[in-house]
Amino acid sequence: MKRPAAKTAADGALRLRRMGIDTYRENVAYLHRACALYHAAGFQALTKVQVSAGSRRILAVLNVADDSGVVRPNQLGLSEQAFAQLGLHLEVIITDGRQPVGRGIGPVFETRDVMQVLQGDPNAPADLRQKALRLAGRVIEFDPDVRGGEAYAIARDILDSGRALAKMNAIIDAQGRQKKRFAPGQLTFEMRSAASGTITSIDNLRVARVARFAGAPLVKGAGVDLFRQVGDKVKKGEPLYRVHAEVAADFRFARSLAARASGYTIGRADEVPAAVVEP
């Protein structure tokens, strides 16, 4: 009986994970026993499975793992040989993770930030624009005809000329433009600084949890609108961010969570950590 090919995250199934295991010349795949998409009990020992990524396909010997530290239930692990045979290219880019990128968390606010960057809005988040250009530049560098150091300038020209916006609109039209207009939720509260000083850190996970408790991302107008970033000076009582919700229960949950800890740390200017990013 022919086994179905393991799918990638692109079509909503298993995510491929590079295991870093050298299996010499043999392609090996690793599946978690608790995988809900492909039941490990249906495979015999050393079964060969077909793995596809895009248009590339390989056969690999399947190993079943019980430890989520090896491979997670939603992943398919690949040995170095298998990863190379699929023709996948992996690069690690170090970016600034000290705070959320952009000024919002939640569908309406993140969409606003992205469209401001694409439209060249002077109020667009500078950190989001910079990160987008750096990542796009790195991808453009994959083209062997692009000279070293030119990729960033090419990416910037694509953005500033409006071509990136045009392509985004073409993608939206092809997928079906949303007729309904979403707006920030009408139930709101602001988290204010408990002290005067400099914002030395922002707990990304905490602020993201506040947004989730408010209903994001399922409720499109729910989320967090950020007013302050790391390094900003604030006075006691000044707003740090505003939380939006559409459902009263979500509003109460988010407000209770934020009241216990806002996610912002206020201290001295010399306590602000330096950003560790690639040049």
Give me the residues paired with residue 233 across strands: 198
Overall pTM surpassing 0.85 (yes/no): no
Cβ 220 vs Cβ 242: under 8 Å:
no
Cβ 119 vs Cβ 164: under 8 Å:
no
Which of 85, 118, 144 terminates a domain? The answer is 85
Cβ 224 vs Cβ 240: under 8 Å:
no
15: CATH? 2.40.40.20
**Which structural domain, as residue segments, surrounds residue 148?**
107-175
Task: Answer whether residue 66 is part of any domain.
Answer: yes
Task: Answer whether residue 24 is part of any domain.
Answer: yes
Summary mean pLDDT of the chain: 88
Which of 154, 175, 196 terminates a domain? The answer is 175
Q: Based on the structure, what is the number of domains in the chain?
A: 3
Instruction: Note the pLDDT of residue 223.
Output: 98
Task: Give how far the C-alpha of residue 277 lies from the chain's centroid of Cα atoms, to the nearest Å.
Answer: 17
Which of 85, 116, 143 terminates a domain? The answer is 85
Average pLDDT over residues 244-264: 97
Query: What percentage of the chain has pLDDT greater than the value 90?
Result: 57
Instruction: Note the pLDDT of residue 100.
Output: 93
Above 60 in pLDDT, residue 253?
Answer: yes
Q: Domain check: are 240 and 204 in the same one?
A: yes
Q: Domain check: are 211 and 251 in the same one?
A: yes
Q: Domain check: are 71 and 26 in the same one?
A: yes
What digits encode the pLDDT tens for the residues 47-88? Answer: 888 888 777 888 888 888 888 888 888 888 899 888 888 877
Instruction: Note the pLDDT of residue 9.
Output: 40
What digits encode the pLDDT tens for the residues 150-183? Answer: 999 999 999 999 999 999 999 999 999 988 999 9
- Of the pLDDT bands very low, low, confident and very high (cuts 50, 70, 90), residue 242 is very high
Measured between its terminal Cα atoms, the distance across the chain in Å is 52
Q: How far is CA 142 from CA 149, 168, 209, 259, in A?
A: 12, 22, 36, 47
Q: Domain check: are 156 and 216 in the same one?
A: no
Task: Answer whether residue 276 is part of any domain.
Answer: no
Q: Is 240 helix (H, G, I), strand (E, B) or coil?
A: strand
242: CATH? 3.90.1170.30
Give just the sign of the alpha carbon dihedral 107, 212, 100, 123.
Answer: positive
Task: Answer whether residue 92 is part of any domain.
Answer: no
Instruction: Note the pLDDT of residue 92.
Output: 73
Token pair in block for residue 17 = 């994970």
Q: Domain check: are 78 and 114 in the same one?
A: no
Instruction: Note the pLDDT of residue 41.
Output: 62
Cβ 196 vs Cβ 235: under 8 Å:
yes
Instruction: Note the pLDDT of residue 85.
Output: 84
Instruction: Note the pLDDT of residue 94.
Output: 78
- Of the pLDDT bands very low, low, confident and very high (cuts 50, 70, 90), residue 45 is low
Task: Answer whether residue 277 is part of any domain.
Answer: no
Q: Domain check: are 152 and 127 in the same one?
A: yes
Q: How far is CA 5 from CA 1, 38, 51, 250, 264, in A?
A: 12, 10, 5, 41, 46
Q: Domain check: are 16 and 77 in the same one?
A: yes
Task: Answer whether residue 90 is part of any domain.
Answer: no
Task: Answer whether residue 102 is part of any domain.
Answer: no
Instruction: Note the pLDDT of residue 36.
Output: 79
Task: Answer whether residue 95 is part of any domain.
Answer: no
Above 90 in pLDDT, residue 194?
Answer: yes
Q: Domain check: are 75 and 134 in the same one?
A: no
Token pair in block for residue 95 = 């970016």
Query: Among 126, 109, 108, which residue's Cα sits nearest to residue 117?
Result: 126
Count of residues in the chain: 279
Average pLDDT over residues 92-99: 82
